[in-house]
Amino acid sequence: MNTLTPATLYLATAIALILIGFAGLLVRRNILKMVLGFALVDTGIHLLIATLGSNPGKAAPILDSAELAADPGLVVDPVPQALVLTAIVIGLGVTALMLAYVVRLFALKKTLDVSEFGRLKW
Amino acid sequence: MKQIFSLVLLVIMGVMLWSLIPLGQPTEPGEVAEHYIRHGIEENRGANLVTSVIVNYRGFDTLGEVTVLFLSVAGAGFVLRRREGLAPLTARPSSEILQTGARMLFAPLIVFGAYIFVHGHLSPGGGFQGGAVVASAVMLLLLADRDHRLPHGFMSWLESAAGFGYVLTGLAGLMVAGSFLSNQGVLPLGTWNRLFSGGVIPVIYILVGLKVGTELSVLLETMMNSGRPADTTGGEH
């Protein structure tokens, strides 16, 4: 086991977030809390991808000084960051849609308990 | 029993995730990323390589991403459109501090959002982030005045025009350079690290910023008014 670097800490946090989110999805019966669990998994995955693409010895992939533009070996991989940007936007859209469904489901049964929604038909 | 099962499942998942990840080894850019880093400036003149990847190299993905966002907003609007059964909402009038603060911050927030998406090819940020800032300004306005109505005709017109402009820019690349969303020869590439540089990248990111800003604003208004009686919300939109 290597020493504790910031990257290890970020990875541990990311995995912890993913696990807490899944725990919420598995254990909670309240739909709103399940949506929160999903959002936590989402955030954990973003942190995981961003950390995997990071390198403490290199700069961000923004070549805004002559020094960085002259030697592109000084910056990190831009692809994971672009992927995370996409994932954040998609996660936002999905969460918004889920919350809209939660509002609609609550209007239907006046409860947020997921076990009340056994029947597929509204 | 079910709790124990969940716990076992989570432990297995944690061990799997932890062992799959190469801990503490900084990754080197792969072959494709190496090309983006080495040739990004000469091909696109954009200082921000993340923006180059999102808007140019992977521009088609971003078009799909914008479509997904549009679909989710349209879906949320569709689900919340019928008001029967929703708990009636009696909005408390907002406080003096919130009203004054919203009035003071609205214009600076819009300008800040526009600044972020105009400079997407130069500094961190871009269309999505700037659009979110613009939408936060609209949310402040809606929180301060719950009866405020957004101009829906204008918003949907702006959103459609921005999406259409994105596709048209892509088609211009198809006609001039032979590939969809190409950045070669459509607009002059300009000088590196200047505001007017990067060819079509700033144009597309400004359109994305407008689209995301209007979409998120409409989404916020739909969600905040979902519990209100239909007659006070101006009916269909």
The answer to whether the beta carbons of residues B156 and B219 sit under 8 Å apart is no
Task: Check residue B134 and give its pLDDT.
Answer: 94
* Segment B197-226, tens digit of pLDDT: 888 899 999 999 999 999 999 999 888 887
How does residue B230 score in pLDDT terms, banded at 50, 70 and 90?
low
Q: Is B50 on the interface with A (CB under 8 A)?
A: yes
Q: How many residues does chain B have?
A: 237
> Are B136 and B109 in contact, with CB atoms under 8 Å apart?
yes
pLDDT in tens, A71-88: 777 888 888 999 999 999
Which ipTM was obtained for this model? 0.84
Nearest chain B residue (CA) to A106? B86
Residues of chain B neighbouring A3 (CB-CB closer than 8 A): 24
Measured between CA atoms, how close is A36 to chain B, in angstroms?
Answer: 17
The per-residue pLDDT for A92 is 92
CB-based contacts of B33, cutoff 8 Å, min separation 6: A77, A78, A79
What is the model's pTM? 0.86
Q: How far is B7 from chain A (nearest CA, A)?
A: 8
Q: Say if B88 is an interface residue toward chain A (CB within 8 Å).
A: no
> Rounded CA gap, B189 and B199, in Å?
4
**Is the confidence at residue B169, as pLDDT, over 50?**
yes
Exposure b/e, A48-73, CB count within 10 A at least 16 = b: bbbbbbbeeebebbbbbeeebbeebe
Out of B9, B13, B219, the one facing A96 most closely (by C-beta) is B219
Angle, CA of A98, B210 and B222, to the nearest 5°: 35
- pLDDT recorded at residue A88: 93
Q: Which residue has the tokens 């998609």?
A: A90
| Residue A120's pLDDT band (cuts 50, 70, 90) | low
Which ranges of B119-200 does DSSP label H, i.e. alpha helix?
Answer: 127-144, 152-177
Q: How far apart (Å, rounded) are the C-alpha atoms in residues B147 and B162?
A: 28
Give the model's pLDDT for residue B233.
Answer: 46
The amino acid sitting at B3 is Q
Residue A66 tokens read as 């002559």
Contact A93 B26 (CB under 8 A): no
Report whether pLDDT(B112) > 90.
yes
Structure tokens that stand for B69 in this block: 């966002």
Q: For residue range B68-104, what is the model confidence (pLDDT) as tens digits?
A: 999 999 999 898 887 777 766 676 788 899 999 999 9
Max mean pLDDT range (B22-31, B38-47, B165-174, B186-195): B165-174
Structure tokens at A55: 């390198």
